[in-house]
Structure 1
Amino acid sequence: MIIFAPMAEQIYYPFQSFKASKKLCFLTGKPLNSSEEQIHVFPQWLMSRYKLEDQPFKLLDESIQTYKDLKLPCSAEANELYVEPLERDIEAAFTIGYEAVKELDELRLFQWAAKWLHGIIFNELQAAMRQQNAEGEEFSVSQSILQRFTNLHVMLQTLSLPIKFDEFKPYSLFLFKVNNLENEFGYRDEVSTVTFALRINDFGLIINLQDNGTIGRYLQETYDKIKDRTLHPIQFEEFSARAFYAAYLFNRLPNYDIMPVGDDIFIEANQLRGNSTKPLFDEWQVRTYGQVLESFWKKWGYLLLEIIKDPDNPVSHLFDADGNFIPADSIDLGL
Structure 2
Amino acid sequence: MAHTLYDPFNDFRFDNNTCFLSGQPLSSADDRVSVFPRWLMHKYALEDKPFKLLDDSIRTYKQLQLPCAAAVAGKIYELDEQTEKAFSVGYAAVKELSQVTLFQWVGRMVYGVIVNEIQAGIRQQAISGEPMNFSQVLAHKFKNLHLMLQSLIVPMEFEGALPFTVVVVPVENPKETFNYRDEINTLVYSLQINDIGLIVCLQDNGTNKVYHKEYLEKLHGRVLHPVQFEELCARFFYSAYLFNRLPEYTVMSTDDSIYVEPMPLADMSMKPIFDHWQVKTFGQVLENFWAPWGLTLFEIIKNPEHPISFLLDAEGHPLPAEAINLSKG
User: Which residue matches 2:277?
Assistant: 284
Number of positions where the alignment pairs a residue of Structure 1 with one of Structure 2? 328
Contact persistence 1:164–1:266 (CA under 8 A):
yes
Partners of 1:141 and 1:118 lie apart in 2 by: 16
Q: Give the counterpart letter for 1:15 in structure 2.
A: F
Which residue of 7, 13, 18 maps to 2:7?
13
Give the TM-score taking structure 1 as reference length.
Answer: 0.95
Contact persistence 1:188–1:198 (CA under 8 A):
yes
Q: Give the counterpart letter for 1:90 in structure 2.
A: T
User: Which residue matches 2:251?
Assistant: 258
Query: Which runs of 4 or more aligned residues in structure 1 lie more than 4 Å from their structure 2 counterparts after TM superposition?
Result: none
Which residue of 293, 296, 308 maps to 1:303?
296
Contact persistence 1:176–1:203 (CA under 8 A):
yes
Q: What is the CA distance between 1:154 and its match in structure 2?
A: 0.4
Q: What is the CA distance between 1:159 and its match in structure 2?
A: 0.6
Partners of 1:250 and 1:186 lie apart in 2 by: 24
Q: What is the CA distance between 1:9 and its match in structure 2?
A: 7.1
Q: Give the counterpart letter for 1:309 in structure 2.
A: K
User: Which residues of structure 2 form unaligned runs of 5+?
Assistant: none
Contact persistence 2:32–2:66 (CA under 8 A):
yes
Contact persistence 1:165–1:268 (CA under 8 A):
yes
User: Which residue matches 1:67?
Assistant: 61
Identical-residue share of aligned pairs (%): 49
Which residue of 90, 97, 101 maps to 1:97?
90
Matched, 1:22 2:13: no
Contact persistence 1:15–1:150 (CA under 8 A):
yes
Q: Give the counterpart letter for 2:231 in structure 1.
A: E
1:128-143 equivalences under 5 Å are: 128-143=121-136
Q: Give the counterpart letter for 1:62 in structure 2.
A: D
User: Which residue matches 2:201?
Assistant: 208
Matched, 1:184 2:159: no
Matched, 1:331 2:324: yes
User: Which residue matches 2:25?
Assistant: 31
Partners of 1:9 and 1:260 lie apart in 2 by: 6
Contact persistence 1:257–1:269 (CA under 8 A):
yes
Matched, 1:45 2:39: yes
User: Which residues of structure 1 form unaligned runs of 5+?
Assistant: 1-6
Structure 1 residues 233 and 262: CA distance shift in structure 2, 3 A: same
Q: Give the counterpart letter for 1:175 in structure 2.
A: V
CA RMSD, aligned part only? 1.3
Partners of 1:50 and 1:314 lie apart in 2 by: 34
Give the TM-score taking structure 2 as reference length.
Answer: 0.97
Provide Cα deviations, 1:146-202, integer angstroms capped at 9, x if missing partner: 000000000000111111111220111111100111111000000011111000000
Contact persistence 2:3–2:255 (CA under 8 A):
no
Partners of 1:74 and 1:38 lie apart in 2 by: 5
Matched, 1:171 2:159: no
* Secondary structure in 2 matching 1:193: coil
Contact persistence 1:172–1:209 (CA under 8 A):
yes
Partners of 1:42 and 1:215 lie apart in 2 by: 25
